[in-house]
């Protein structure tokens, strides 16, 4: 049994723990497990960055409803079966929920199994606040809206945005009660008779801006055997299908798909998240990787812009069609505040080419590769390492994957001063340079020798600067701080170095030994920060929690250097944790004394958590390791 705690570093935020999510990106519907969407917390129907429904409660006037079962098949459908209480127990109520084309469809069916007729009154209470998703996440109070109601449904308005509920057949009565639309149907059922009503909820007045729904990827799935691994695999792949989006700006001959980062806060394109998801899934699909590469290449930086942090050649961090203003952030529609996405884009292009992507598709992206490599060189020019200062305005202070404000700390708990050079970012840059050189050579383009020399020079600088030998062991520092000092305290970031090729065999073995200690491997996945560090708190975002994608990268990296002892321990720990979440791994969770503790605001499902689960299942099932796990020679 897992426990749930409020987060210790994000007080006041809306919680997701224990909610049931049905999704077909860019739409997501979060409800209580009984199917009711109650007007509290983060419940509701989201499409992209707007909540279009904040309440949908369905019942029988004057009669209790008892939910008997809930079934979630694929990501986009759910069924809730219940019965009426008291002397109406022979009447069954079923709700079939489907998300399709940015809308939720709720089919409500009453079935009288009694031997006599019954008379009932079905009541639907619906509400919409048309709140921005980021505002819901922040926990800020949202103004309610008064609906326009008629027997055919209801509508809610804000300037430029409109939500609607359409009822078929029309209700017998329809009224507005404060912010609620209340629709009622008198229902007379003969013995054995069924009756149903269809409710369709979503945006009105045209499709909202943003990415388009996408068909699932045809995964090439090797055998995972039977039992718990297959269950986790199937749930994770279904959630990845539910998170799939398509680029509306792709040419007609391309159908470019990528994974949205997570539900509900990050249902959009993220550079780092989408790239890592595609990379972890590369053995199952080059199509997803190719689509992700092209979607990001279309939005590659072309100019210098202070507010968006765009720079020529840089791969973006995230897309928010209407911008994002909440929780201390003020982001433009295209935001480039990331230090690692550009290198990861180069790595994925190389990996996808080696995995069999057609030469013409690779060659079309080589100009983007050259722009990205040039950005990497410029970003490392001043210090010799890829370093970020962080945003001084409404953007992110930390711009690696641990992007919370206190995500990089010294062993004594002190937050490291920026600018920072993260260890894994140097590894990504090294792999990008080596992989980029291989591509330039293979396609007869200039610059390969220079990029190999650049990578070799980076490795020398890294070796002389990042390594720490202290009472906690010998390991690479999480970062260099503003004064160029190696930040003490073992952290999970070092695991990301294993598949990059930056480390010697002996160094990689030392990293494996350090990851295998119980302060980082607590038995339920890889902790983001050692439990021996003063800043360790498993209920924070990045200072002791467990992230499934982080664990998966460590598992594959360890396996790639032949350290199956450490890889299997972490992998089996992650699988055991997944069982506590009904095989739908969240963005992150805590492990305390071997017990799983939910992080209440974590996205669930989240793309790189699901992709990480697939990768770990593959490793434990004996699938061939992805070639990128062995580095680039």
Non-local CB neighbours of 327 within 8 Å, separated by 6+ positions: 13, 134, 137, 138
- For the stretch 23-73, pLDDT in tens is 999 999 999 999 999 999 999 999 989 999 999 999 999 888 889 999 998
Q: Which residue has the higher pLDDT, 392 or 521?
A: 521
Please state, in angstroms and as integers, the Cα–Cα distance from residue 33 to each residue in 18, 63, 137, 460, following that order: 7, 20, 20, 54
Residue 92 has pLDDT above 90, yes or no: yes
Under 8 Å between Cβ of 273 and 266: yes
Helix (H, G, I), strand (E, B) or coil at 405: coil
**The pLDDT of residue 321:** 87
- For the stretch 422-468, pLDDT in tens is 999 999 999 999 999 999 999 999 999 999 999 999 999 999 999 99
CATH number of this structure's domain 214-630: 1.50.10.10
Q: How far apart are CA 519 and CA 529, in angstroms?
A: 8
Overall pTM surpassing 0.85 (yes/no)? yes
Q: What band does 209 get if pLDDT is binned at 50, 70 and 90?
A: confident
**The pLDDT of residue 391:** 81
**The pLDDT of residue 177:** 96
**The pLDDT of residue 495:** 98
Under 8 Å between Cβ of 574 and 514: no
Q: What band does 252 get if pLDDT is binned at 50, 70 and 90?
A: low
Q: Which residue has the higher pLDDT, 330 or 170?
A: 170
Q: Which residue has the higher pLDDT, 62 or 391?
A: 62
CA torsion sign for 314, 318, 322, 327 is negative
Under 8 Å between Cβ of 258 and 318: no
Helix (H, G, I), strand (E, B) or coil at 124: strand
Non-local CB neighbours of 501 within 8 Å, separated by 6+ positions: 430, 431, 434, 631, 632, 633
- Domain at 20-203, CATH from 1.20.1740.10, 2.70.98.40, 3.30.1360.120, 3.90.550.10: 2.70.98.40
Do domains 20-203 and 214-630 share one topology? The answer is: no
Q: What is the mean pLDDT of residues 166-171?
A: 98
Q: Which residue has the higher pLDDT, 205 or 235?
A: 235
Under 8 Å between Cβ of 511 and 482: no
Q: How far apart are CA 397 and CA 80, in angstroms?
A: 43
Length of the chain: 633
**The pLDDT of residue 281:** 97
Q: What band does 140 get if pLDDT is binned at 50, 70 and 90?
A: confident
Q: What band does 370 get if pLDDT is binned at 50, 70 and 90?
A: very high
Q: What band does 294 get if pLDDT is binned at 50, 70 and 90?
A: very high
Q: What band does 472 get if pLDDT is binned at 50, 70 and 90?
A: confident
Residue 10 has pLDDT above 80, yes or no: no
**The pLDDT of residue 8:** 45
Q: What is the mean pLDDT of residues 596-610?
A: 94
Q: What band does 5 get if pLDDT is binned at 50, 70 and 90?
A: low
Q: Write down the domain spans for the chain.
A: 20-203, 214-630
Helix (H, G, I), strand (E, B) or coil at 11: coil
Q: What is the mean pLDDT of residues 325-336?
A: 88
Residue 215 has pLDDT above 80, yes or no: yes
Cross-strand partners of 420? 388
Q: What is the mean pLDDT of residues 278-287?
A: 96
Residue with tokens 């994000």: 10
- For the stretch 176-194, pLDDT in tens is 999 999 999 999 999 999 9
**The pLDDT of residue 283:** 93
Residue 172 has pLDDT above 60, yes or no: yes
Residue 596 has pLDDT above 80, yes or no: yes
- For the stretch 505-553, pLDDT in tens is 999 999 999 999 999 999 999 999 999 999 999 999 999 999 999 999 9
How do the residues of the chain divide into helix, strand and coil, expressed in percent and rounded to 5?
Answer: 30, 30, 40
Residue 226 has pLDDT above 70, yes or no: no
Residue with tokens 């691994």: 229
Under 8 Å between Cβ of 76 and 100: yes
Residue 107 has pLDDT above 80, yes or no: yes
- Per-chain mean pLDDT for the chain: 94
Q: What is the mean pLDDT of residues 77-103?
A: 92
């Amino acid at each position: 049994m897992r426990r749930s705690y409020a987060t210790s570093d994000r007080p006041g935020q809306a919680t997701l723990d224990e909610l049931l999510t049905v999704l077909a990106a860019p739409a997501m519907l979060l409800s209580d497990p009984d199917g009711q969407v109650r007007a509290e917390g983060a419940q509701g129907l989201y499409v992209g960055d707007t909540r279009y429904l904040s309440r949908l409660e369905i019942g029988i006037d004057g009669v209790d409803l008892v939910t008997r079962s809930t079934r979630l098949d694929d990501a986009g459908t759910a069924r809730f079966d219940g019965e009426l209480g008291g002397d109406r127990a022979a009447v069954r109520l079923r709700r079939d929920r489907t998300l399709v084309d940015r809308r939720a469809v709720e089919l409500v069916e009453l079935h009288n199994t009694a031997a006599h007729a019954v008379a009932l009154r079905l009541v639907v209470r619906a509400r919409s606040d048309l709140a921005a998703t980021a505002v819901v996440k922040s926990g800020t109070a949202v103004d309610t809206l008064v609906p326009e109601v008629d027997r055919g449904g209801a509508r809610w308005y804000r300037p430029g945005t409109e939500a609607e509920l359409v009822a078929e057949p029309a209700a017998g009565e329809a009224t507005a009660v404060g912010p609620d639309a209340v629709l009622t149907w008198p229902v007379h059922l003969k013995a054995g008779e069924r009756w149903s009503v269809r409710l369709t909820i979503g945006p009105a007045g045209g499709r909202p801006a943003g990415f388009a729904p996408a068909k699932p990827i045809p995964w090439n799935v090797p055998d995972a055997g039977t039992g718990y691994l297959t269950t986790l695999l199937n749930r994770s792949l279904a959630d990845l299908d539910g998170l799939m989006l398509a680029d509306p700006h792709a040419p007609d001959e391309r159908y470019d798909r990528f994974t949205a980062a997570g539900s509900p806060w990050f249902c959009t394109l993220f550079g780092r998240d989408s790239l890592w998801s595609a990379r972890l899934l590369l053995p199952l699909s080059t199509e997803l990787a190719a689509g992700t590469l092209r979607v990001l290449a279309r939005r590659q930086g072309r100019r210098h812009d202070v507010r968006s942090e765009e720079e020529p050649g840089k791969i973006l961090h995230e897309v928010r069609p209407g911008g994002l203003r909440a929780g201390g952030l003020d982001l433009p529609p295209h935001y480039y505040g990331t230090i690692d996405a550009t290198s990861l884009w180069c790595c994925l292009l190389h990996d996808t080419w080696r995995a069999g992507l057609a030469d013409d598709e690779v060659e079309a992206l080589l100009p983007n590769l050259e722009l990205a490599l040039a950005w990497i060189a410029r970003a490392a020019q001043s210090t010799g390492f890829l370093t970020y200062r962080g945003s001084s305005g409404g953007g992110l202070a930390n711009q690696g994957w641990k992007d919370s404000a206190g995500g990089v700390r010294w062993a004594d708990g002190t937050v490291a001063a920026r600018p920072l050079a993260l260890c894994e970012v140097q590894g990504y840059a090294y792999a990008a340079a080596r992989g980029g050189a291989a591509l330039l050579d293979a396609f007869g383009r200039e610059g390969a020798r220079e990029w190999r020399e650049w990578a070799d020079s980076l490795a020398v600088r890294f070796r002389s600067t990042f390594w720490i030998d202290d009472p906690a062991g010998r390991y690479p520092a999480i970062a260099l701080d503003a004064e160029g000092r190696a930040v003490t305290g073992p952290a999970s970031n070092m695991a990301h170095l294993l598949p990059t090729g930056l480390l010697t065999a002996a160094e990689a073995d030392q990293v494996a030994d350090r990851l295998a200690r119980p302060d980082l491997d607590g038995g339920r996945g890889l902790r983001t920060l050692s439990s021996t560090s003063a800043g360790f708190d498993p209920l924070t975002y990045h200072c002791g929690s467990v992230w499934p994608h982080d664990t998966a990268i460590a598992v594959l990296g360890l396996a790639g250097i032949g350290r199956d002892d450490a890889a299997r321990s972490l992998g089996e720990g992650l699988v055991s944790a997944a069982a506590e979440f009904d095989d739908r791994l969240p963005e992150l969770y805590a492990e305390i004394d071997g017990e799983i503790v939910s992080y209440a605001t974590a996205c669930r499902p989240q793309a790189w958590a699901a992709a990480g689960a697939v990768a770990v299942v593959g490793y434990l099932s004996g699938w061939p390791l992805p070639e990128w796990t062995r580095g680039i020679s």
